[in-house]
């Protein structure tokens, strides 16, 4: 009797995952760095109140000093303030683009994997086609061709934001779709699905209540890595001069501006570049740590 009342230690999956994630030093390093960057970018501009657009030709392209910690750019604008502000844009674009990519991918993958047959075939051909498209050239082309018209509709900043988020999202959903589909195909043959079906569950309920939670961990890993990918894509676009307007300082745009001052002002390239590098590196470490921690085979 005594044994029955005694509660065995509960091994909740989430605490297990956290324990394994904690053991991964690289992933913890990534989490700390990323959190620091996110907090700096969100709260930094409130504390560090130097304006991002105050032009001062007397101090143009000045190296780092106490007054301007990261130096100034060719117009004498403070680089630290611009990096903090630009980080807000780069990170928002990346997270929004990831959300677009992951929702599209999950939707396509879930429908293809659940219904199978001709629907699956059609959707997978579409996925293959998207994978065969030359991404970067098309991204450049679409931004160049459509930025003026979307600017006229939604304003210069919001317009470019929407355009960049949508196209990065629409070119990155394929890997998520394949992952979700593959797992749905495996899962839908399992007994708990037959049981739910026998109880009269509708397809909608089967997909979202029964199958989706089982692929959530895979989606989380893919989503993390998609954020890093989106940051690189957005800065590539800005670096090639096809991102946000020149007065909006994104990290890629700052590197684009720094190109012509590599001899006289290398700090103009180093700090924004480091910001991109550290953010992407820490996101990749977190993604890797999550993959190991969430993988049931490694328990």
Partner 1 sequence: MSQYLLKRLLISIPTLIAISVIIFTILALAPGDPLGEFASNPAITAEVRENIRRALGLDQPIPIRYLKWFWAFIRGDMGYSFTSRSPVLNLLLQRLPTTLWVVGSAYLLALLIAFPLGIISALRRYSATDQIITTFAFLGFSIPPFFTGLLFIIIFSVQLGWLPFIYNSTLQVTDWSTFLELIKQSIMPVFVLALYQSAVLMRFIRSSVLEELNQEYVRTAYAKGLGQISVLKNHILRNAMIPVVTLIALDIPAIFTGALVTEQVFRVPGIGALLIESIYRSDTPVVMAITFIYGLLIVAFNLIADIVYGVLDPRVRY
Query: Which is closer to partner 1, CB of 193 or CB of 223?
Result: 223
What contacts 43, CB < 8 A, 6 or more positions away?
none
Query: Which is closer to partner 1, CB of 194 or CB of 264?
Result: 264
Residues that bind partner 1 (CB under 8 A): 26, 128-129, 132-138, 140-142, 144-146, 148-149, 228, 232, 235-236, 239-240, 242, 252, 255, 258-259, 262-263, 266, 269-270, 273, 276-277, 280-281, 284-285, 288
What contacts 206, CB < 8 A, 6 or more positions away?
114, 193, 196, 197
Query: Which is closer to partner 1, CB of 43 or CB of 277?
Result: 277
Query: Which is closer to partner 1, CB of 68 or CB of 267?
Result: 267
94: tokens are 């990346």
- As a whole number of angstroms, the distance between CA 45 and CA 126 comes to 44
Torsion of CA 272, 274, 50, 263, to 10 degrees: -60
Residue 284 beta carbon to partner 1: minimum distance, rounded to whole angstroms: 5
Residue 181 beta carbon to partner 1: minimum distance, rounded to whole angstroms: 19
Taking the CB of residue 50, how many other CB atoms lie within 10 A of it?
16
Query: Which is closer to partner 1, CB of 212 or CB of 261?
Result: 261
Centroid of chain to Cα 73: 28
Residue 89 beta carbon to partner 1: minimum distance, rounded to whole angstroms: 16
Residue 30 beta carbon to partner 1: minimum distance, rounded to whole angstroms: 10
44: tokens are 């930094």
Residue 26 beta carbon to partner 1: minimum distance, rounded to whole angstroms: 8
Residue 147 beta carbon to partner 1: minimum distance, rounded to whole angstroms: 10
Query: Which is closer to partner 1, CB of 69 or CB of 240?
Result: 240
- As a whole number of angstroms, the distance between CA 150 and CA 87 comes to 23
Centroid of chain to Cα 114: 27
Residue 95 beta carbon to partner 1: minimum distance, rounded to whole angstroms: 18
Q: Which of 247, 91, 108 has its CA nearest to residue 165?
A: 91
Torsion of CA 165, 135, 281, 69, to 10 degrees: -60
Supply angle C-alpha 247, 253, 256, rounded to 5. 120
Query: Which is closer to partner 1, CB of 176 or CB of 276?
Result: 276
214: tokens are 């089982």
């Amino acid at each position: 009797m005594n044994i029955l009342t005694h509660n065995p230690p509960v091994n909740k999956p989430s605490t297990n995952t956290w324990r394994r994630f904690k053991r991964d030093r690289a992933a913890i390093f990534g989490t700390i760095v990323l959190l620091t960057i996110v907090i700096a970018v969100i709260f930094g501009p409130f504390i560090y109140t130097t304006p991002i657009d105050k032009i001062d030709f007397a101090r143009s392209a000045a190296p780092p000093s106490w007054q301007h910690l990261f130096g100034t750019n060719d117009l004498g604008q403070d680089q630290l303030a611009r990096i903090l502000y630009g980080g807000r844009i780069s990170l928002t674009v990346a997270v929004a683009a990831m959300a677009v990519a992951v929702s599209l991918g999950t939707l396509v993958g879930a429908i293809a994997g659940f219904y199978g047959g001709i629907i699956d075939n059609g959707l997978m051909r579409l996925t293959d086609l998207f994978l065969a498209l030359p991404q970067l050239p098309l991204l450049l082309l679409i931004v160049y061709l459509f930025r003026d018209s979307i600017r006229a509709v939604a304003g210069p900043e919001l317009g470019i934001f929407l355009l960049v988020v949508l196209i990065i999202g629409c070119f990155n959903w394929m890997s998520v779709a394949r992952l979700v589909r593959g797992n749905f195909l495996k899962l839908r043959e399992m007994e708990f699905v037959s049981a739910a079906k026998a109880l009269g569950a509708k397809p909608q309920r089967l997909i979202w209540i029964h199958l989706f939670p089982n692929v959530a961990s895979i989606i989380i890993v893919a989503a993390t890595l998609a954020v890093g990918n989106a940051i690189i894509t957005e800065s590539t676009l800005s670096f090639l001069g096809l991102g946000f307007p020149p007065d909006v300082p994104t990290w890629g745009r700052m590197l684009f501006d720094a190109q012509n001052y590599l001899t006289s002002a290398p700090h103009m390239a180093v700090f924004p570049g480091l910001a991109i590098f550290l953010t992407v590196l820490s996101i990749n470490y977190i993604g890797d740590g999550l993959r190991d921690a969430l993988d049931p085979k490694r328990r």
